[in-house]
Structures are given as C-alpha cells and as structure tokens.
Amino acid sequence: GNSVTQMEGPVTLSEEAFLTINCTYTATGYPSLFWYVQYPGEGLQLLLKATKADDKGSNKGFEATYRKETTSFHLEKGSVQVSDSAVYFCALRDSSYKLIFGSGTRLLVRP
Amino acid sequence: NAGVTQTPKFQVLKTGQSMTLQCAQDMNHEYMSWYRQDPGMGLRLIHYSVGAGITDQGEVPNGYNVSRSTTEDFPLRLLSAAPSQTSVYFCASGNTGELFFGEGSRLTVL
C-alpha cells in the first residue's frame, strides 16, 4: 500500500541554520505530495504542495521538489527562525481524497 | 471564518462509556475525515466520507463509528471507550486540493 517515511526527530538547529527534513514515499500511480506544519497546541496547516513530478512547492521560505526518480519530497529552508519550531508532516494523496501521513519530524530552533 | 470546528476540545471518559466527537465545516467540502494522532505515529486515518450518505473505513476503524447525514457534519462515535483510544483526534475536510484541519479534540480514557 501507499506509505510515507520521514526522518525521525527531533531536529535541533541554531537560528539561521540550513534545514533539510527528508521524506520518501511509496505509491502506485502519481500521487500529490504535501508538507503540513503543526504548531504547539494547534491543528495541521498546509505548508506547501506539489502535484506532479519535478514540481517545486514553496511557501514562507520553505521549498520541496517532487522527485519521482528517487520517490522523495525533501523539505528545505535556507535560514530557519525560532518561529519555525513545530512538527512537520510529509503526506501523499493518491487518486482518492485520502491523505496518508508520515510520522512527523519535530524541529526545535534555538536562538 | 469558522472553517472546521471540533467539539469538545477536551474530554475525559471512563472505560466503557460512550461519546460523540462533533465535527462541522462551512466550506461545502464533499470530503471529510477523522484522524487520530499518537506520539511517534503521526496521523492515522480512522474513517472518511466522500459525500453525504457515504462513509468508508480508514487505517484504524475499530472501535469507532461514523455517519454523514449532511454535507456539513461528520460526527465520530465511540460506543465503548477503551484506554487505547486515548489520543488527540483531528477532523479534516477538503475537495481536490488541500485538507483543512480542526484544532483537535484531546480524549483521555481512564
């Protein structure tokens, strides 16, 4: 079945450091890929998405590129801020509406 | 700007009690779903619905019932709560694009 694997956390970085959170997926067909973010005590919010191979999603300085050849959708940001501290979820949606999530990666950014 | 509204936000139950988590959306979305979030396990799909009168099971449906009588509402019922159902529950709705999530309902079963 379809699945998403993302790197375990927590990831601890200093402010202005470069961020990469790895995400790989297993799916039949051509899924859409998403990154969601969850701030403490809140629900999930869409951060960015990509719907086909080689698409790059971007938002708030975060980027991820849909790589079909490596089945990956790694999240990157060039310079993280304390306010980026949150849990990040990679997810895929196949031909149905169902969204399948990875286990989440907690990011802690220290001043 | 209500979006997806879940009630209650917090609930404590005793083993064997029943309860219903309410979910309502005002965006006219056909698709609605319930997830549970447990530490280290991400979000797991419990049940989902692609329209009024249509529901289906997700990854972890046992112990939960749902119904969809209107487009707006998608309640989740626990008929006989168990400690293993202690979790944070999220309702989400959407159409062909992103899902919109409620703020969550934290349930503790003693």
d(CA A56, CA A49): 8
Q: Give a three-class secondary structure readout of chain A.
A: CCEEEECCCCEEEECCCCEEECEEEECCCCCEEEEEEECCCCCEEEEEEECCCCCEEEECCEEEECECCCCECCEEECCCCHHHCEEEEEEEECCCCCEEECCCEEEEEEC
Best CA proximity match to A50, nearest among A63, A69, A61: A63
Which residue's entry shows tokens 């029943």?
Answer: B18
Chain segment A52-61, per-residue pLDDT in tens: 999 999 999 9
Residue A94 amino acid letter? D
Q: Which of B31, B42, B43 sits opposite A97 (nearest CB)?
A: B31
pLDDT of residue B1: 63
Chain segment A100-109, per-residue pLDDT in tens: 999 999 999 9
User: Looking at residues A30-45, what average pLDDT do you find?
Assistant: 91
d(CA A68, CA A85): 29
pLDDT of residue A98: 83
Q: Which residues contact A76 (CB under 8 A, 6 or more apart)?
A: A18, A19, A20, A21, A62, A63, A64
Q: Which of A43, A96, A102 sits opposite B102 (nearest CB)?
A: A43
Q: Nearest-CA distance from B18 to chain A in Å?
A: 24
Write out residues in chain B with pLDDT < 50, as ranges.
Answer: none
* B18 close to B78: Cβ distance less than 8 angstroms: yes
pLDDT of residue A43: 87
Best residue in B99, B100, B106 for a mutation probing chain A (most A CBs within 10 Å):
B99
Neighbours of A19 (CB within 10 A): 18
